[in-house]
Structure 1
Amino acid sequence: MSRKHFLIGASCLGVALFLSLIGSISLPHLTALDYVRAKFATPILSGQDTLSEIRLGIWGPCFYDEHDHRLCFNVGHGYPVPLLTTTGQIEIISGSWTRGLAVHPVATGVIAIAFGFAFAKFESAPLISVLTSVLSALILLIAFAIDIALYAEMHHKVGELHGVKGNVDFGTAFWFTLVELILVLVAAVMVFMGRRAGDSSESYPMFSSPSGGFFSRFKK
């Protein structure tokens, strides 16, 4: 395999793996990494407290009050998110919408496999790395669609709250997913091109043989 293509492909997979790993940890363990967030100009309720922001991660949500104090819950994937107004209206984002976020750790595992095979020495390793990179891209594409669906559902539920002004945005981990998707696709192309370049050079050994190869026969 071409060393240049290998370095580019392996670097892309390494960065994608790192981003995917920390994105898979997400909330509530890494509070800066959420997939969807909602900010409220008009506070809503959570028990006896008023909330100004809600952030959703894979393993649980985080709630922020008017003073930016944070309360996070590690409830596992597939958790419901209740939205309650001061007038008693309640809207619930069901657990089926957050359950799909568990696809992200699956993508992390597949990227790790692709990264490992990129460094393997046996002949078919580059091909396996390309195939697993493409597979991880497909899984990330599914995860990307799930994130957008969750965003749309939260946007819809916030819009249903009467007298509440809220703004729904994508979180940091969502943009990580987009970067990961681009990186694994670039890595797959680089590893494939490197494999082709390596095959081409091996197909014509007579032109690169240290002993002069075929043309040495015609030298005087």
Structure 2
Amino acid sequence: MSRAFCIPGIVFLTCALVLSFLASLSLPFLPALDIVRVKFGTNSTGTASAGSLPVVSELRLGVWAPCEYDLQGARTCAEKHHGYEVQIGNPLDLTKIATIKPSWTRGLAVHPVATAVTFIAFLLSFSTHITITLVASFVAFLAALITLIAFAIDIALFALVKHAINGLDIGANTDTAPGFWLTFASLILLLLGGCTVCFGRRRERMSSATTNYPMKTTGRGRFWAKITGKSRA
């Protein structure tokens, strides 16, 4: 593949792989890389299980588990697995409890799938064979599609949590977290990487065609050369 396009394509896919991998680890392994974050006031409560409702100051939802922070900043995470449940309550009205069901968090497991496909595209991008680079481009676009699905799931989860929190009337703020934006950045990089690899293959094919099929001199040109040569003689 053309060297001018090969290196940028590898760089794009490398960055996309790193970001996708970090977003896939998420909570509880990387506390700072959650998907959705809820910040409560001093009168808000929340829990990551169906048990009691202790007073917390912040709730973070990751790919593998939710984590809650008390007023002193101590972190408590639920057991890590995909498809967890979260309950958030209003201490002034114990009848108001919002529940985020496992059906909404189970789809977050798409993140590591996107990472795996991105890794395959990353490995294929090192090949100089034209056919394999074409496959690398297709795999990069496939990884972008899966990442887009993961990002759509993140958006849906954020919208659901925000709607549930607003319904409790507890003055809490729901925001997108760093893991949310890492997924978006990975999506953009995958699209750039796929396009770069694809254009690099096209340029290489055009370059090969020019090298293998040089311009031929026409018969008239050869005849004119002979006449010119005789005249000079």
| TM-score, normalised via structure 2 length | 0.86
> CA RMSD, aligned part only?
2.1
Structure 1: how far apart are the matches of 2:25 and 2:139? 22
Question: In structure 1, what is the equivalent of residue 4 of structure 2?
Answer: 4
Letter in 1 for 2:166: G
1:207 & 1:125 partners in 2: Cα distance? 24
Residue 146 in 1 paired to residue 153 in 2?
Answer: yes
C-alpha distance 207-124 of structure 1, shift in aligned 2 (>3 A): closer
Structure 2 match to 1:177: 183
- Aligned partners of 2:187 and 2:199: how far apart in 1? 19
Once the two structures are superposed, residues 184-210 of structure 1 have per-residue CA deviations (whole angstroms, 9 ceiling, x without a partner) of 1111111111101110111011688xx
- Which deviations, in whole Å up to 9, do the C-alpha atoms of 1:87-115 show, x marking residues without a partner? 31311110111111111111001101111
Distance 1:63 1:206 in 2: 65
Question: How many matched pairs?
Answer: 214
Q: Which runs of 5+ in 1 are unaligned?
A: none
**In 2: Cα distance, 1:74 partner to 1:27 partner:** 11
| Higher Rg of the two aligned structures | 2
* 3-state SS in 1 of match to 2:63: coil
What's the counterpart of residue 90 of structure 2?
85
Q: Which runs of 4+ in 1 moved over 3 A?
A: none
Question: What is the letter of the counterpart of residue 44 of structure 2?
Answer: P
Once the two structures are TM-superposed, the CA of residue 85 in structure 1 deviates from its matched residue by 2.1
**Residue from 179, 182, 194 that aligns with 2:200:** 194
CA contact (8 A) 2:65 2:78 kept: yes
In structure 2, what is the equivalent of residue 37 of structure 1? 37
Match runs of 1:103-122 below 5 Å: 103-122=110-129
Q: Contact conserved, 1:206 with 1:214, CA < 8 A, in 2? A: no
Letter in 2 for 1:72: C
Give a deviation string over 1:56-87, Cα, whole Å, max 9, x none: 01110110111211111233011010112213
The structure 2 residue matched to 1:65, chosen from 63, 67, 70, is 70
Letter in 1 for 2:80: V
Deviation at 1:121, TM superposition (A): 4.1
For structure 1, which segment, 79-88 or 147-156, has the greater mean C-alpha deviation from structure 2 after superposition?
Answer: 79-88
Q: Which amino acid aligns with 2:104?
A: W
Per the TM alignment, residue 140 of structure 1 is displaced from its structure 2 partner at its CA by 1.1
Runs of 5+ in structure 2 lacking a partner?
A: none
Rounded Cα–Cα distance in structure 2 between residues aligned with 1:90 and 1:207: 74
Tell me, yes or no, if the aligned pair for 2:130 and 2:201 is still in contact at 8 Å: no
Percent sequence identity is: 42
Structure 2 counterpart SS, 1:10: helix
Cα-to-partner distance string for 1:141-195 (whole Å, 9 max, x where unaligned): 1111111100011011111114x11110001011001111110111111111110
